[in-house]
Structure 1
Amino acid sequence: MADRLDNLLAALKHQPSDRSLDQLEPAVWARLDGDGETRTGAVFAFRTAAVVGALFLGVATGGLAAASAQPSSDEISVFSLGPQLAPSTLLEGRG
């Protein structure tokens, strides 16, 4: 298989090229410069829409989570007025 491929490549080497490639690079760069202007606007618009959508989703989710969060009544605070943890209550078995 490798010998056959080597033979085909050697035969191709001795044939003249069917088209000139000396202006290929400038043609590629010209095409990239032309497409880049239209593509840049579309990419910028897509990125902006994605950032705005993510920001809106984050604010909406965070706002809903903050609105639904309530402190639990089982919290232990040093300055709480609840007598359920007072030593007299715990010692008498009422807790």
Structure 2
Amino acid sequence: MDAQCFSQKKEELGLETALNQAGTFDCSGQFVEQGAPAALVKEDRDSGDATWILVAVPQMVRTHMGDRVRVTGQFRSKGVLVPSRIDLDDGSGEWPRVF
């Protein structure tokens, strides 16, 4: 997800509504194309922070905005993740690597 877009929607809608609607925002990806960071919304929001900023070239993850992905990497600080691998749920059960 586009972190800047999510931040704007969170201000407008409130955190819970923004989290539930994150994949539907019409601005999703708009700011990432300009270099803004991408963010990840966790499926299991009961186990801590719901969003993570991805420290990666934003344009590299742009094509998978709104998709269900599995991210492997290192946590740098609260809410910041440096991905070493991103796998895509393409519906086949295989989770192919996309980054």
Q: State the TM-score, normalizing by the size of structure 2.
A: 0.12
Larger strand share, 1 or 2: 2
Return the structure number with greater helix share. 1
Q: Taking structure 1 as the reference length, what is the TM-score of the superposition?
A: 0.13
